[in-house]
Amino acid sequence: MPEQVLLEIGLALAIVAFAGILAARFRISIVPLLILAGMVVGPHAPVIGILDFRFIKSAPLIDFMGRVGILFLLFSLGLEFSVGRLLKAGRSILVGGSIYMAINFTLGMVLPIIWGWPLRETLVVAGLISISSSAIVAKVLVDLKRTARPETEMILGLMLFQDVFVAVYLSIISGLVLTGSASPPSVLKSTSLALGFMLGLILAGRKLAPLINRLFNVPSDEVFMLMVFAFLTLVAGFSETIHVAEAIGALLVGLILAETDHLDRIEHIVVPFRDFFGALFFFSFGLSIDPLTLGGAVGPVLVAVAATLIGNFLAGIIAGRMAGYSYRGCTNIGLTITPRGEFSIILANLAKTGGLLPVLQPFAALYVLLLAILGPLLTKESKWIYSQLARIFGWPALKETNKPRRSV
């Protein structure tokens, strides 16, 4: 291990802990504070004595621990559901996901066309605007204790739907940006792999549930923990090798293990790891944003953020109502899926590699930053936001139940 890495890790944890103290003191989500804390330090920060706030030597390790944090966040979210519940909601998720992508992707195409940006840049921006951050959404749902709410099933389904879209879109956009062409066989292969892997794992999990129950029926908590973590990382790692987001692999493992008799035992073990590594993910996310470069795209970013907020809200209302949720539940859907994150950064890096307009780098960074901060804050205040909208549109008062309507 390089010299001073341990000291830098300790310093990073101290900053993360301080952000947690502030969040608890002011009763706000810790996510925005962790991202801002990461931005304040980083390569542009000073060295004060033996304290190196640049985190240059420890950056790879912090980034890796952040990736582990994504796995635990999505795994923990999957434990709150089950494969059976997800399959029952399949039609609603397909319809809702199509509506969500149609609205947001259209907005993502229209805006850069209005700004006069070239086609490849337009396609990159469309991807940036269309995809939510699974990690931030999962963290917000856990922090606000909303995993048991009925509409969270739709939110979870939308995240899975988006991952299939990502598999297809990334294949297309990488071909267009890097080579100027996108091979139809390559696109078909990516789509088939993503869908086949997710459906295959879900169905296998259901069929093998009795076997999984027996395998994990071990008395030692230490061995049990190692088995759970091995299962989680192996599936997530395999997901990554076939170009399905490792976070979705972790989510699917959670869905599978939620069907076993060991759910309470798993949750008891996982929660401390989820909170620890999850906090480091958001801190490392902030480290990846250079605040000195954010001034180059303020105007377009503000327009894009406003359009995203409106588009997400409309998509949440339309998709939620079609699935039978109350207006309150629809409002929660529209606000919760607002944050943008990891996929947007991937697209921005792809654009840089392909030599596209330099403005895409500060555009992506500032756009992600604002929505990563606004998303959790708006979701936390969803009750107040709904009450204001209810007065304007004549929606039912908050006493309305949030369960889907039954078909008649």
The pLDDT tens digits of the residues spanning 208-255 come to 889 999 999 999 999 999 999 999 999 999 988 887 778 778 888 998
403 vs 209, 320, 330, 355, CA distance in Å?
29, 11, 11, 49
Q: Which amino acid is at 114?
A: I
pLDDT tens digits for range 131-186: 998 888 988 998 888 988 989 989 988 988 887 787 678 767 766 776 565 567 77
Q: Give the residue carrying structure tokens 């079609």.
A: 322
Backbone angles phi, psi at 48, to 5 degrees: -115, 100
Q: Please report the pLDDT score of residue 401 as a whole number.
A: 47
Task: Spell out the CATH class of 5-392.
Answer: mainly alpha
Assess whether pLDDT exceeds 70 at residue 322. yes
| Most confident stretch, 76-85, 123-132, 155-164, 179-188 | 123-132
Sign of CA dihedral 37, 43, 45, 51: positive
Assess whether pLDDT exceeds 60 at residue 325. yes
Tokens of 379: 């979701």
Query: Across the chain, what does the average pLDDT equal?
Result: 87
Q: Please report the pLDDT score of residue 31 as a whole number.
A: 83
Tokens of 169: 């879109």
- Decide if 76 contacts 138 (C-beta within 8 A): yes
Q: Please report the pLDDT score of residue 179 as a whole number.
A: 59
- Decide if 162 contacts 101 (C-beta within 8 A): yes
Torsion on CA atoms 285, 28, 308, 349, rounded to nearest 10: 0
Its pTM stands at 0.78
Assess whether pLDDT exceeds 80 at residue 45. yes
CA distance 19 to 41: 13
Q: Please report the pLDDT score of residue 189 as a whole number.
A: 74
Q: Please report the pLDDT score of residue 181 as a whole number.
A: 57
For residues 86-115, average pLDDT: 89
pLDDT tens digits for range 7-28: 999 999 999 999 999 988 987 7
Q: Work out the angle at residue 125's Cα, subtended by the Cα atoms of residues 337 and 320, and round it to the nearest 5 degrees.
A: 25
| Most confident stretch, 75-79, 91-95, 266-270, 348-352 | 266-270
- Decide if 287 contacts 55 (C-beta within 8 A): yes
Going from N- to C-terminal start, the domains of the chain cover 5-392
